[in-house]
């Protein structure tokens, strides 16, 4: 391969540094340094695997974020997919396509943020690849996790009469992005929600262990788009109550000045909250961080009801990053 000629000491230095800093997880019998890592398997577990590609200019802008936070976010959004199945993250794989205008300190800050975030969830960097990019910074992250056999929560499984729940608050990340795109600074809470979102791993695990959810997804493309995936996979419809959509204090303040912003909570992306359905109607009383926002119905489609009885029409399509 052409790239092979370009492999130099710098790359091996970086890998040595990463290997030393990443440590090794108890679930691995062999970590970074060989052709593959080795993870012994147990009979009563399913292995979950998910991958994300993050490209500068499309998924992130370097001028808006620190490399440390970018490293954290790359892990968080990836681990969020494991959370969305109710699993426990274990191994991460990191591919870096590195443009010339990124120096060693920046790459080290990125990897440090990556490892710090991984540690929060007990996940270990188990391998990757590093090469030069002639274009933008490109990051590929793969995560593997485990879940007890047959306890993964899929998109398919919602049925008539199930309640629809979401975790946390919606729209914060999209509001922060909206402000940044208009040259304004989001407050520290909104900035944190955008730059360093928290995957809801513990909630996902609880729902899967207690077998409470019939279908689940993490909200990366916006509530309507992602709930739409559950509805399509489960072949059902849903009715939501607009006033039940959980909104943070910062979001409510902004909404007070511009009522159109509600569309960011409905269709803005990158919340990384969980949306799930359950036959149980009282989960919001049992679990602090969740809100019941609607119900699954036989009539296909997704309807949003306002308190005055009229249907609400969201003016925005699903989230499309910097489009």
Here's the x/- map for Mg ion, 125-144, by CB under 5 A: it reads as: ----x---------------
Distance, in Å, from the CA atom of 101 to the CA atom of 132, rounded to the nearest integer, reads 11
Rg (CA), the chain: 21
Q: Which stretch binds Mg ion (CB under 5 A): 32-40, 59-67, 123-131, 247-255?
A: 123-131
**In the complex, what is the shortest distance from the CB of residue 129 to Mg ion, in angstroms, rounded to a whole number?**
4
Q: At what angle do helices 201-209 and 67-83 cross, to 10 degrees?
A: 10
Instruction: Indicate the residue among 96 and 158 with the shorter CB distance to ligand ADP.
Output: 96
Query: 19 and 33 in contact (C-beta within 8 Å)?
Result: yes
Distance, in Å, from the CA atom of 14 to the CA atom of 117, rounded to the nearest integer, reads 19
Altogether, the residues listed in the chain come to a count of: 323
How many helices (H) and strands (E) the chain has is answered by 11, 10
**In the complex, what is the shortest distance from the CB of residue 79 to Mg ion, in angstroms, rounded to a whole number?**
23
How many residues of this chain interact with ligand ADP, rule: CB under 6 A? 13
32 binds, among Mg ion, ligand ADP, none (CB under 5 to 8 A by kind): ligand ADP
**In the complex, what is the shortest distance from the CB of residue 34 to Mg ion, in angstroms, rounded to a whole number?**
11
Which one of 130, 133, 159, 297 is in contact with ligand ADP (CB under 6 A)?
Answer: 130
Interacting positions 34-93 with ligand ADP (CB under 6 A):
34-35
45 binds, among Mg ion, ligand ADP, none (CB under 5 to 8 A by kind): none
What are the φ and ψ backbone dihedral angles of 215, each rounded to 5 degrees? Answer: -150, 150
Which one of 70, 82, 94, 227 is in contact with ligand ADP (CB under 6 A)?
Answer: 94
Distance, in Å, from the CA atom of 106 to the CA atom of 69, rounded to the nearest integer, reads 11
Secondary structure of residue 169 in the 3-state scheme: coil
1 lines the binding site for ligand ADP (CB under 6 A): no
Distance, in Å, from the CA atom of 124 to the CA atom of 89, rounded to the nearest integer, reads 9
Instruction: Indicate the residue among 121 and 319 with the shorter CB distance to ligand ADP.
Output: 121
**In the complex, what is the shortest distance from the CB of residue 6 to Mg ion, in angstroms, rounded to a whole number?**
12
33 lines the binding site for Mg ion (CB under 5 A): no
Distance, in Å, from the CA atom of 217 to the CA atom of 205, rounded to the nearest integer, reads 13
Which one of 6, 10, 13, 33 is in contact with ligand ADP (CB under 6 A)?
Answer: 33
Burial class (CB in 10 A: 0-12, 13-18, 19+), 114: buried
Instruction: Indicate the residue among 18 and 247 with the shorter CB distance to ligand ADP.
Output: 18
Instruction: Indicate the residue among 35 and 288 with the shorter CB distance to ligand ADP.
Output: 35
Query: 19 and 31 in contact (C-beta within 8 Å)?
Result: yes
203 lines the binding site for ligand ADP (CB under 6 A): no
Q: Fill in the DSSP letter of residue 274.
A: E
Instruction: Indicate the residue among 128 and 145 with the shorter CB distance to ligand ADP.
Output: 128
Across 69-116, the runs of DSSP E, i.e. the strands, are: 88-98
Instruction: List residues near ligand ADP by CB under 6 A.
Output: 15, 18, 32-35, 94, 96, 125, 127-130
Instruction: List residues near Mg ion by CB under 5 A.
Output: 129
């Amino acid at each position: 391969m052409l790239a092979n000629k370009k492999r130099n000491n710098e790359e091996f230095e970086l890998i040595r540094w990463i290997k030393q800093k990443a440590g090794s997880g108890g679930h691995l019998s062999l970590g970074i340094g060989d052709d593959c890592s080795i993870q012994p398997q147990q009979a009563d577990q399913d292995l979950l695997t998910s991958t994300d590609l993050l490209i500068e200019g499309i998924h992130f802008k370097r001028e808006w974020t620190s490399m440390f936070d970018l490293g954290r976010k790359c892990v968080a959004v990836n681990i969020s997919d494991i959370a969305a199945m109710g699993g426990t993250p274990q191994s991460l794989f990191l591919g870096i396509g590195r443009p010339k205008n990124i120096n060693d300190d920046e790459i080290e800050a990125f990897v440090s943020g990556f490892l710090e975030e991984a540690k929060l969830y007990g996940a270990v960097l188990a391998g990757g690849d590093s090469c030069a990019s002639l274009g933008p910074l490109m990051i590929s992250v793969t995560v593997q996790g485990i879940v007890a056999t047959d306890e993964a929560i899929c998109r398919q499984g919602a049925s008539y009469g199930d309640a629809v729940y979401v975790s946390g608050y919606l729209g914060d990340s999209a509001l922060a992005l909206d402000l940044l795109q208009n040259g304004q600074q989001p407050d520290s809470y909104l900035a944190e929600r955008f730059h360093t979102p928290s995957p809801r791993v513990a909630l996902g695990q609880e729902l899967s262990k207690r077998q409470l959810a019939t279908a689940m997804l993490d909200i990366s493309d916006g509530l309507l788009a992602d709930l739409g995936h559950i509805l399509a996979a489960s072949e059902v419809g849903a009715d939501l109550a607009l006033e039940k959509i959980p909104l943070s204090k910062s979001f409510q303040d902004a909404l007070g000045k511009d009522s159109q912003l509600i569309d960011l909570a409905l269709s803005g992306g990158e919340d990384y909250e969980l949306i799930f359905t359950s036959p149980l109607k009282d989960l919001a009383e049992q679990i602090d961080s969740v809100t019941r926002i609607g119900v699954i119905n036989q009539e296909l489609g997704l309807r949003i009801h306002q308190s005055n009885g009229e249907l609400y029409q969201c003016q925005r399509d699903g989230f499309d990053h910097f489009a």
